[in-house]
A and B are shown apart, each in its own frame.
Chain A
Amino acid sequence: MTPSPQTSTRRATGTRATRVLGIVTLVMLGWLGLFGLVLSPADVDQGDAVRIMYVHVPTVWLAYLAFIVTAVCSALYLFGKRHSLGFDRVAGASAEIGVVFMALTLISGSLWGRITWGVYWQWDARLTTTALLFVTYIGYLAVRGLDGTRERRARRSAVIGLLAVVEIPLVHWSVRLWRSLHQEATILDTDLDVDIDGLMLFSLFVGVVAFTLLFVWLLLHRSRTIALDDLLADRGIDRAIAERRAEVGPSGGSS
């Protein structure tokens, strides 16, 4: 397999555009820190715990966005005419980012829950589905790690990525049914969109924008490192072949 000239000349994953994007992301994250920790007021009920939301909501948004990107790229790979491996790399990179941020969501959420509800975990439909979703994508990444040629890996993972789209609504539906029938009388309301202060809403908005930019930045770099990894593997094979040939020497060059 010959690497495309475009990837073979690029040794690093950064370009001018990603650098600018990275700086903008950093500035936005700084802004988020300023708004979330300093400028926005403490909540009447939740106190300072509400500040966890400025990270929690953007991370969950990012995770879902990442999983959507994975599904779309899986479909583009599978149904596209060229079966471009680029889509496969973006799908994989996006799932990795999604899993990391889903973990952050679960951690920040349980910390918030401990302060606000008094428990780390509630058997709420949304929480349970999120946890199952998290494990599903860990499984997806495990499938990506299986052996085989790059095309097989891409095809397999794309199918698994699309199967997840069929499965997740079913899981969510069943978990919701399960909870709605067995819910004890509770005043805990996991919806937080009640009567939200303007500055708080703006801080959340800053968070969502900052994390979206962060997602794009991470996605660009990660899919490029995957491409470089593939390139390295190709080169490794080429070099090994060349070395074996050299061992045999010019005289005994039978192949």
Chain B
Amino acid sequence: MSPGRIRLARRLAAKDLLIERRSRVLVNQVLPFSGLVMVVFAFALGTGGVLERAAPGLVWLAVLFSSLSTVQRSFGLETADGAMESLRVAGVDPIALFLGKAAALAIELLVLVTVLLGLAVVLYGTEPRAEGIVLLVTTAISATLGLAALGTIYGGLAAGGSGRETLLPLLVLPVAAPVLIGATRGVEAALGTDRTAVSEGWPWVGLLLVFAVAIGVGGALAFGSLIED
């Protein structure tokens, strides 16, 4: 990986984050939506034991649904005013573009995950334990990386009008199964849901990391072909 490419990716990520800081679309729209999803889960499942036991899974479901809007926003920025074309005409390396978009997305999703985990403590009565903190943080980061890479691959394809917006969930959700499974089990072990030991969580972190690397490499290679039009 050349330093130029990394610098470019960092600039692209900084650009996305700057736009978000100024427009606050994610903070004002996606974050309230994800909080709402957490509340709606309580309506569907009823309060009490069920909610507390299902909390890790529900958090990741809410992340998954909100990540779809986040990805759409991220690529909506590029299709508006033909920004993506400009980037391509400017000769921006697609791999750097992929890495930059994915990095910005990962940071945004990480904020989302942190807020939702906090919300789970407040709304669902989950109690984080000291010995599981490292596992919790590692799980959250590795799951978010995989999700960001996955969203970036298909976000580029699903952006840009004529019936493409509805394509994103169909492409992302089946492949997101490893993230949902791995992240849920990891957080379960970190929180000790159902009396699981912390050590049971680490194999799932392995799964999440393999997923993030495979999807990241595959996505970086494929991205150029997917945003061609």
Contact = CB atoms under 8 A, between A and B. Distances in A.
B170 A135 contact: yes
B127 interface: no
A160 B223 CA distance: 10
A163 B153 contact: yes
A171 B174 contact: yes
A152 B226 contact: no
B225 A159 contact: yes
Given A170-B211, A170-B214, A171-B175, A159 B226 contact: yes
B167 A173 contact: no
Given A143-B157, A163-B153, A166-B215, A156 B170 contact: no
Contacts of B185: 178, 181
Contacts of B204: 177
Q: Is the interface of B mostly helix, strand, loop or mixed?
A: helix
A132 B181 CA distance: 14
B170 A162 contact: no
A138 interface: yes
Interface string B172-183: 011101100110
A178 to B, nearest CB: 5
B225 A155 contact: yes
B171 interface: yes
Given A146-B164, A171-B178, A174-B207, A152 B170 contact: no
A175 interface: yes
B226 A178 contact: no
Contacts of B175: 136, 167, 170-171
B203 interface: yes
Contacts of B215: 166-167, 170
B222 A162 contact: yes
Name the interface size band of chain B.
Answer: 20 to 34
A136 B174 contact: yes
A148 interface: yes
A118 B69 CA distance: 40
A83 B119 CA distance: 52
B159 to A, nearest CB: 11
Nearest to A178: B181
B178 A174 contact: yes
Contacts of A167: 175, 215, 218
Interface in A103-150: 132-133, 135-136, 138-139, 142-143, 146-148
Contacts of B181: 174-175, 177-178
B228 interface: yes
Nearest to A152: B229
A139 B177 contact: no
Interface in B167-207: 167, 170-171, 173-175, 177-178, 181-182, 185, 203-204, 207
Return the 7 tightest CB-CB contacts between A and B, nearest first. Answer: A174-B178, A135-B174, A166-B218, A159-B225, A139-B171, A132-B174, A178-B181
Given A147-B162, A163-B222, A167-B175, 18 more contacts: A133-B174, A135-B173, A136-B174, A136-B175, A152-B228, A156-B228, A163-B153, A167-B215, A170-B175, A170-B215, A171-B177, A171-B178, A173-B178, A174-B177, A174-B182, A177-B181, A177-B203, A181-B185
Interface of B: 153, 157, 162-164, 167, 170-171, 173-175, 177-178, 181-182, 185, 203-204, 207, 210-211, 214-215, 218-219, 222, 225-226, 228-229
22 contacts: A132-B174, A136-B174, A139-B174, A143-B167, A143-B171, A146-B167, A156-B157, A158-B225, A159-B226, A160-B171, A163-B153, A163-B218, A167-B175, A170-B175, A171-B175, A171-B177, A173-B178, A174-B177, A174-B182, A177-B181, A177-B207, A178-B181
